[in-house]
């Protein structure tokens, strides 16, 4: 006999969920990686 209401949400324990916070976080991290990559390229070109 089950007590209480059981949720049917299979993605509740996933790290990446489909919500606004996850999308914003992915964009921020992608921007930081892109800035590091661009900075590395500029620094490398500047050495030559």
Quick: pLDDT tens for 7-43.
666 667 777 777 888 899 999 999 999 999 999 999 9
Count each helix (H run) and each strand (E run) in the chain, helices first. Answer: 1, 0
Q: What's residue 35's pLDDT?
A: 98
Q: What's residue 9's pLDDT?
A: 66
Q: What's residue 37's pLDDT?
A: 97
Q: What is the pTM of this model?
A: 0.60
pLDDT of residue 4 exceeding 70: no
Tell me the backbone φ, ψ of residue 39, rounded to 5 degrees.
-60, -40
């Amino acid at each position: 006999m089950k007590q209480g209401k059981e949720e049917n949400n299979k993605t509740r324990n996933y790290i990446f969920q489909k919500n606004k916070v996850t999308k914003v976080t992915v964009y921020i991290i992608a921007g930081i990686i892109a800035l590091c990559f661009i900075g590395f390229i500029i620094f490398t070109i500047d050495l030559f």
